[in-house]
Amino acid sequence: MSTELKQKTTKKEGFLSHPAVKEFTFSAKRFLKNPLSIIGLTIILIFALIAIFAPVLAPPEDPYDPFKIPHDGWKTAPSPPSPEHPLGTMEQQYDILYGIIWGTRSAFKIGFFIVMANLFIGIILGSLAGYFGGWFDEIIMRITDMFYALPFLVMAMALVVAIGRGLQSIIIVMIILGWPTYTRMIRGEIMALRDKDFILAAKAGGAKSLRIIIQHILPNSIYSVLIVASMNIGTTVLTAAALSFLGLGSESGYADWGQMVSMCRDWIVGPPDNRLAYWYVVFTPGFVIAMFVLGWNLLGDAARDVFDPKMRRK
């Protein structure tokens, strides 16, 4: 019993003294000392809680279709905040608070799904191109050049219209057009490591290419890639919202922030006696998007400063 316990503790100590773990705890401590990263973390955690507890915070009328915002009648003009509608309603009386709460789920879905799919394609193509070089690298890089020269938003708009409007299409299109950025980034990271001594040592030791990529190269380059990816969750949501705003999103009444801003376009100027009468329709959904993106940007910014050893010294 006692020997077992002793073994466990030594094992634990051994685990804690592993350089990678020490590095991580050191970085994490610095990360939590930075006020900006705390703000970013708090914002994202709040949004995550809202997304998780959406059914409690705003019980859906139809449990099978929770993303449909309920509305009281079809009156065109928005109504100001009231006890039943704490944030007011949009045109056709869609409840803004409900839209915001369930829109959080849409935003996380959009951000994670697009960035993860792009990262997946980017890691595979980028590491193959960067590690092996040659004609494969040449082809992949020329294709990414071509995608870089395309005006992203216009191509995305045309493609979404071509395959049918809706949030689903926006996600698919942003994956089709988004992977080159990640491929190029990962390729660069891998090329920087490819000729380092420890890789040559691994090669000399007889390790296979796949093993070298997975065990030696990716762990060394993945940090900076993940940080960029986390920052991109914000901008991805922003672009998707812009596409929704331009009228390519789901049908009106779907809980998606971009869609909600798009619905407010006719209400930026109120009646003559009160020009700002409909401020809540314009302000609230856009403000929520801005906060969501701000959270990810603060998080990514701080993470880059902390985890990048070159930045840390300064």
Partner 1 sequence: MISIEKTIDADVSINIFLKTEKNHVNLLNYIIRRLLLMILVLFGVSLIVFSIMMIIPPGQRVAIYVKSEKVTPAQMEALIEKYGMNDPAPIQYARWIGNIFQGDFGYSETAKGPVIEGFKQYFPITLELVLLSTPLIILVGVWLGTLGAVHKDKPVDHFTRVFAVIGYSLPTFWLGLMLLMLFYGLLGIFPPGQISNVGKDVISSPEWNRVTGLICLDGIINGRWDIVWDGFYHLILPAFNLVILSCALILRLMRSSMLESLGQDYIRTALAKGADRGTINRIHARRNALIPVITISGLMFAGLMAGMVITETIFNRKGIGLWMARAALQLDVPAIMFNVLFLGTIFAVVNLIVDILYAYVDPRIRLT
Q: Where on the chain is the footprint of partner 1 (CB under 8 A)?
A: 36, 142-143, 145-155, 157-159, 161-163, 234, 238, 241-242, 245-248, 261, 264-265, 268-270, 275-276, 279, 282-283, 286-287, 289-290, 293-294, 297-298, 301, 314
- For residue 68, the cross-strand partners are 254
Q: Do residues 80 and 282 make contact, with C-beta atoms less than 8 angstroms apart?
A: no
The whole-angstrom separation of Cα 8 and Cα 48 is 36
C-beta of residue 294 within 8 angstroms of C-beta of residue 40: yes
Q: Which CB atom, from 225 or from 261, has the smaller least distance to partner 1?
A: 261
Nearest CA among 172, 49, 169, 58 for reference residue 117: 172
* Nearer to partner 1 (CB atom), residue 223 or residue 283: 283
Least separation in angstroms between residue 73's CB and partner 1 is 26
- CA 199/CA 312 separation, integer angstroms: 25
Residue 230 Cβ, how far from partner 1 at the closest point, in Å? 14
Q: Report the half-sphere exposure of 38 (CA within 13 A, side-chain side).
A: 6
Q: Which is nearer to partner 1, 74 or 313 (CB)?
A: 313
Q: Which whole-number Å values give the CA distances from 101 to 74, 173, 189, 244, 285, in the listed order?
A: 22, 25, 38, 17, 10
Q: Is the dihedral of CA 74, 78, 83, 86 positive or negative?
A: positive
Cβ 30 to partner 1 shortest distance, Å: 15
At its nearest, how many Å lie between partner 1 and the CB of residue 151?
4
Query: Given the complex with partner 1, which of 203 and 275 has the nearer CB atom?
Result: 275
End-to-end CA distance of the chain: 49
Cβ 197 to partner 1, closest distance in Å? 22
Q: CB 153 → partner 1: shortest distance, Å?
A: 4
Q: Minimum CB separation from partner 1 for residue 149, in Å?
A: 4
Catalogue the long-range contacts made by 157-165 (C-beta closer than 8 Å, 24 or more residues apart). Answer: 157/243, 157/246, 157/248, 160/243, 160/248, 161/248, 165/247, 165/248, 165/249, 165/250
Nearer to partner 1, 225 or 263 (CB): 263
Nearer to partner 1, 21 or 150 (CB): 150
Smallest distance, partner 1 to C-beta of residue 303, A: 13
Distance CA 58, CA 14 (A): 48
Q: How far is the CB of 132 from partner 1 (least distance, A)?
A: 19
Q: Please, which residue, 149 or 204, has the CB nearer to partner 1?
A: 149
Q: Which residue's CB is nearer to partner 1, number 159 or number 218? A: 159
Residues 6+ apart with CB under 8 A from 100: 87, 257, 260, 284, 285, 288
- 89 strand-pairing partners: 95
Nearer to partner 1, 40 or 122 (CB): 40
3 state SS of 206: coil
